[in-house]
Amino acid sequence: MGPRHCAAVGALLAIVAGGALLAWSARAQQNAAPQGASAMFARIATVLRSPRCLNCHTVTDFPRQGDDRHAHLFFVTRGPDDRGLPWARCTSCHGEANNNATGIPGRPDWHMAPLSMGWEGLSDTGLCHRLLNPADNGHRTPEQIYEHIAFDRQFIAWAWSPGRNIQGVQRTVPPIPRHAFSLLVKEWVAAGAPCPQ
Ligand code: HEC
Ligand code: HEC
């Protein structure tokens, strides 16, 4: 075999080997995808299920309070527009900023998430589907969910600066810092927003 043949055989081998490697890595990736998706979404879910988020994202007729997520004081209910009943509007007590003297948290137009955005009692898979379902999530694409999470200055911003509670104790914040959480959601959306099986 001359050097030309040798080079040709070498090239052929390289192509075959390369092809096999590609096929193998594609298969490896396919196998890894569901596991990766579960792991990624499980971390996202630790924030979605933190009391600061879940107390507004309830499946009940009322908001909740505290880390033990007890029903809101004074029998406050969501009312027809998630902003309370005519005689007990959320904004009759909640101002535009946290009031650390009274322990009442605040942000402009304080109100709870609609029932379709209630996240209590769902498995990771159920929570993931609810978050992504346009009929439930206010017709948001996964990219728009990311943008809401990363750039909202109203309630998501509040969850990481929740002020003091009625006992004068600083409220706890979600388990992952906001910036790291946003990056995690960005990565998940870029991966096609996969839900765990
Ligand atoms: C004070 C109440 C309140 C708190 C606290 C709150 N939210 Fe919301 N959230 C809302 C309301 C109201 C909407 C609906 C806004 C809209 O559709 O314009 C909403 C919508 C959303 C949406 C888009 C809809 C969907 O289902 O995908 C996401 C995502 C979201 N919230 C995430 C969070 C996260 C994460 C936290 C905690 C870090 C949080 N929220 C804390 C009230 C709240
Ligand atoms: C009569 C006054 C009053 C009204 C009306 C009211 N709230 Fe509150 N809210 C409070 C007080 C006081 C606290 C602080 C309680 C504490 O720290 O234990 C609070 C705390 C909260 C919290 C903080 C929960 C946390 O993470 O610990 C949420 C969420 C909340 N209210 C939602 C609402 C919503 C939504 C409405 C309207 C449907 C509403 N509130 C109406 C007085 C009120």
CA-proximal residue: ligand 2, atom 11 (nearest): 104
Burial of 22 (0-12, 13-18, 19+ CB in 10 A): exposed
Q: Which residue has the tokens 């498995």?
A: 123
pLDDT over threshold 70, residue 134: yes
Helices 124-132 and 3-48 cross at an angle (nearest 10°) of: 90
Residue 159 CB less than 6 A away from ligand 1: yes
113 CB within 6 A, ligand 2: no
Examine the pLDDT at 43 and tell me if it is beyond 90: yes
109 Cβ partners below 8 Å, 6+ apart?
83, 91, 154
Q: From CA 105, how far away is CA 162, in angstroms rounded? A: 7
> Is the predicted pLDDT of residue 182 greater than 90, yes or no?
yes
| Closest Cα to atom 17 of ligand 1 | 138
Whether 155 lines ligand 1, by a CB cut-off of 6 Å, is yes
**Strand (E) or helix (H) holding 90:** helix 90-93
Please tell me what DSSP assigns to residue 82: S
What per-residue confidence (pLDDT) applies to 77? 97
Q: What is the pLDDT of residue 37?
A: 76
Q: Evaluate if residue 139 carries a pLDDT over 90.
A: yes
The predicted model scores a pTM of 0.88
Domain-wise residue ranges, the chain: 50-190
Pocket mutation for ligand 1, best pick of 46, 50, 56, 60 (most atoms within 8 Å of C-beta): 56
Give the least confident one: 5-14, 32-41, 174-183.
Answer: 5-14
Please tell me the distance from the alpha carbon of residue 72 to that of residue 159, in angstroms, as a whole number.
17
